[in-house]
Amino acid sequence: MIKPHGSDTLNPLYVQDDAKRAQLLKEAEGLPSIIISSAAAGNAVMLGGGYFNPLTGYMNLADAMSVAKTMHTTSGLFWPTPVMNVVKDASAIKGAKRIALKDPNVEGNPIIAIQDVEAIEEISADDMKLMTEKVYATTDMDHPGVNAFNSVGNIAISGPIQVLNYSYFATDFPGTYKTAYEIRDDMEKLGWQKVVAFQTRNPMHLAHEELCRMAYNAVNADGILVHMLLGKLKAGDIPADVRDAAIRKMAEVYFEPNTVLVTGYGFDMLYAGPREAVLHAVFRQNTGCTHFIVGRDHAGVGDYYGPFDAQAIFDEVPKGALDIEIFMADHTAWSKKLNKVVMMRDVSDHTKDDFILLSGTKVREMLSRGEAPPKEFSRPEVAKILMNYYQSIQ
């Protein structure tokens, strides 16, 4: 395992001492409070779990702008995306130095964190536009990440936080949701030193499975961290519980015991392509992974990014800024010529017709009809779980 980003030891912001946490929750009842956005709640969960080490809270406007422009905070810390608490109206906390943050994603809006307020700043339209352009490479409001980023308001509340719970992630996904420090503990117990991380927001088909295996073998790893996003996605994406079941079944049936950890993290997808790929690398380093797979169109959506933009951006990461190594992957698919899954770049003698390629739309149509994709595309056990889901929503 490698050390966390930006510090020698992990600094999760979750208050682990039960008595201290109870005391803070009691204090929070008497504090001015505000319901935060889903994005800010996700940031709190990531800060609480150590994924956003070494950050101590929400960025002020100067840091957020600096990160957007240069991928560094004003103090020089390498960081790829703003981590903010932005609201539409901060009048309820005007003049307060310490506030309670309420969770928008859990019924009753329980307190998710306490924040020490260092600044409350209005973000100008020009600043919002610049941050949007730099982070998402577009200002098109049809882009789901751009839309979410520009819909939460323009008042930034900055300052350190103490996290009091992990929102709905720990309760809705017991055994799957894990903090960065819990993953480190699990890998230490397994004796893993060299670990490949695989990011997913979708179920894993055969090509994804084989990509993990390729990376595992290429770097001579001790294990694979399959790390799925459990937060909010765009409309039409498969719910986290269905993805979780499908991925667990694949790992259980097709990987050797104790070679794969199937886990998840609590964060809303940004769909920020290259910038989000770098963010993914940061928090995989914080889990202790030594290698991170970045594939074709990583963290992208639609046609907003080139197929390998998320790999090219790592050329802009200063030497020494990250310790994790990037495993650059090409599109993987079943070769009819070779009767196995290959990376397309490795078989220059192939044409498109030599591969089994199915669009997402085609696969969804097949599953909705109760028709399993070919075994060269999807494992039958995985297909069965996905068929049951698609047929249940018709």
Q: Which of 201, 213, 248, 364 is catalytic?
A: 201
> Maximum CA pair distance of the chain?
69
Crossing angle of helices 380-392/360-368, nearest 10°? 70
Are 201 and 247 in contact by the 8 Å Cβ rule? The answer is no
Distance CA(297)–CA(201), nearest Å, equals 13
User: Which one from 202, 213, 248, 364 is the annotated catalytic residue?
Assistant: 202
Encoding tokens for residue 21? Answer: 């946490």
* Rg, Å, the chain Cα set: 21
Q: Tell whether omega for the bond before 54 is within 30 degrees of 0, i.e. cis.
A: yes
- Active-site residue, 345 included: no
Segment (H or E) for 292: strand 291-294
150 is catalytic: no
Q: State the DSSP string of 125-159.
A: HHHHHHHHHHHHS---TTSHHHHHHTSS-SEEEEE
**From CA 91, how far away is CA 95, in angstroms rounded?**
9
- Burial status of residue 234 (CB atoms within 10 A of its CB: 0-12, 13-18, 19 or more): middle
The catalytic site residues sit at: 201-202
